[in-house]
């Protein structure tokens, strides 16, 4: 399909305005937001990552592609998060300290909202101290941490230790995720749940609350 190919190609080259335009056109033509997301935008960012790994792309290319995707996500957000469901629980989300990636985290937020969760997002580069303060303030059911770099994944453990030290570990469920994270890693740091993608994250969150 022309729109999907356009979304893929223009995200790859980081043409934000064109990606926005194509997203809006797609919606006008009655395309499902999920189709644009899972069949074009996400695969395009995967290709960006692959090119970065090969040395064909550098940080600036990765940055503009990420921005283009984030712009589209803002347009799709209200549609993806549309829900009539009553709040099934409060989810406190953040990207760990030292890590600025947030597209995947924001996508998890959107899907959680769509499933009826009340989501509080602390943003990126969030320190364990800030997480502890937010848990004390909001008393969430689940605390979710995203890490996208092998070098920032150890922050999961630092966050869990900080919750433990503050006497809060037993009052919250901890979920972790992000591109390099695995179930084995999640188990090793003592998280209660892990998911590889946003829809699985929603399913896992509901299971953990049940
Ligand atoms: Co960076 N980056 N980046 N980057 N970046 C990756 C992550 C990388 C895999 C690229 C690669 O080499 N193939 C690589 C990490 C390698 C590693 O450590 N294993 C990498 C690197 C190396 C870096 C820098 C170090 C580059 C440098 O400076 N030399 C640097 C680090 C900066 C920092 O954080 N300190 C850097 C910077 C950036 C940009 C700022 C330019 C930009 C970020 C823009 C932004 O997020 N606002 C960027 C981008 C765009 C990427 C790629 C290309 C795309 C990320 C993305 O949005 N993916 C990425 C390559 C890739 O992922 N293939 C890459 C789409 C998104 C929907 O998927 O993020 O996986 P994902 O999220 C998924 C799941 O992980 C899961 O659900 C999401 C939705 O399905 N999930 C959860 C996420 N959080 C969850 C939480 C849960 C459960 C599931 O429970 C709580």
Global ipTM: 0.98
- Please give the structure tokens belonging to residue 144: 């979710």
Q: Is 143 helix (H, G, I), strand (E, B) or coil?
A: strand
- 8 Å CB contact between 186 and 167: no
- Please give the structure tokens belonging to residue 45: 């960012």
3-state DSSP of 164-176: HHCCCHHHCEEEE
Distance 148 CA to ligand 1 centre (A): 5
Q: Is the minimum distance from the CB of 45 to ligand 1 under 6 angstroms?
A: yes
Distance 149 CA to ligand 1 centre (A): 7
User: What percentage of the chain's residues is helix, strand, coil (to nearest 5)?
Assistant: 60, 10, 30
Q: Is the minimum distance from the CB of 49 to ligand 1 under 6 angstroms?
A: yes
- Please give the structure tokens belonging to residue 42: 């996400």
Q: Is the minimum distance from the CB of 62 to ligand 1 under 6 angstroms?
A: yes
Q: Is the minimum distance from the CB of 64 to ligand 1 under 6 angstroms?
A: no
pLDDT over 90 at 81, yes or no: no
| pLDDT at 183 (0 to 100) | 98
pLDDT over 80 at 128, yes or no: yes
Side-chain-facing half-sphere of 198: CA atoms under 13 Å: 21
pLDDT over 90 at 82, yes or no: no
Q: Is the minimum distance from the CB of 42 to ligand 1 under 6 angstroms?
A: yes
Residue 10 region by backbone torsions, left for phi larger than 0, else alpha for psi between -120 and 50, else beta: alpha
Q: Is the minimum distance from the CB of 108 to ligand 1 under 6 angstroms?
A: yes
Q: Is the dihedral of CA 154, 160, 108, 101 positive or negative?
A: negative
| pLDDT at 114 (0 to 100) | 82
Residue to mutate, 51, 67, 148, ligand 1, most ligand atoms under 8 Å from C-beta: 148
Q: Is the minimum distance from the CB of 210 to ligand 1 under 6 angstroms?
A: no
Give percent of the chain with pLDDT exceeding 70.
Answer: 98
- 8 Å CB contact between 99 and 149: yes
Which atom of ligand 1 is least distant from the CA of 70? 47
* pLDDT tens digit sequence for 185-206: 999 999 999 999 998 999 999 9
| pLDDT at 18 (0 to 100) | 98
| pLDDT at 115 (0 to 100) | 85
Q: What is the mean pLDDT of residues 24-39?
A: 95
pLDDT over 70 at 84, yes or no: no
**CA-based Rg of the chain, rounded to a whole angstrom?**
17
Distance 101 CA to ligand 1 centre (A): 5
- 8 Å CB contact between 158 and 128: yes
- 8 Å CB contact between 146 and 193: no
- 8 Å CB contact between 164 and 132: no
Strand boundaries in 53-104, DSSP class E: 89-95
Residue to mutate, 12, 14, 62, ligand 1, most ligand atoms under 8 Å from C-beta: 62
Band (pLDDT 50/70/90 cuts) for residue 108 is very high
Nearest C-alpha to atom 5 of ligand 1 is from which residue? 49
């Amino acid at each position: 399909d022309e729109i999907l190919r356009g979304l893929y190609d223009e995200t790859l080259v980081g043409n934000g305005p064109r990606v926005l335009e194509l997203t809006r056109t797609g919606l006008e033509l009655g395309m499902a937001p999920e189709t644009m997301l899972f069949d074009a935008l996400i695969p395009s960012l995967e290709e960006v990552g692959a090119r970065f790994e090969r040395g064909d792309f550098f940080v600036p290319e990765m940055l503009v592609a990420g921005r283009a995707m984030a712009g589209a996500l803002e347009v799709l957000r209200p549609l993806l998060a549309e829900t009539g469901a009553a709040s099934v629980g409060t989810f406190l989300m953040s990207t760990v300290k030292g890590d600025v990636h947030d597209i995947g985290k924001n996508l998890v937020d959107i899907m959680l909202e769509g499933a009826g969760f009340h989501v509080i997002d602390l943003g990126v580069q969030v320190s364990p101290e800030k997480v502890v303060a937010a848990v004390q303030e909001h008393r969430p059911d689940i605390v979710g941490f995203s890490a996208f770099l092998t070098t920032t994944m150890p922050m999961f453990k630092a966050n869990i230790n900080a919750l433990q030290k503050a006497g809060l570990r037993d009052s919250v469920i901890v979920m972790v995720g992000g591109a390099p994270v695995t179930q084995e890693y999640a188990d090793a740091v003592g998280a209660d749940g892990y998911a590889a993608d946003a829809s699985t994250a929603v399913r896992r969150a509901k299971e953990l609350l049940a």
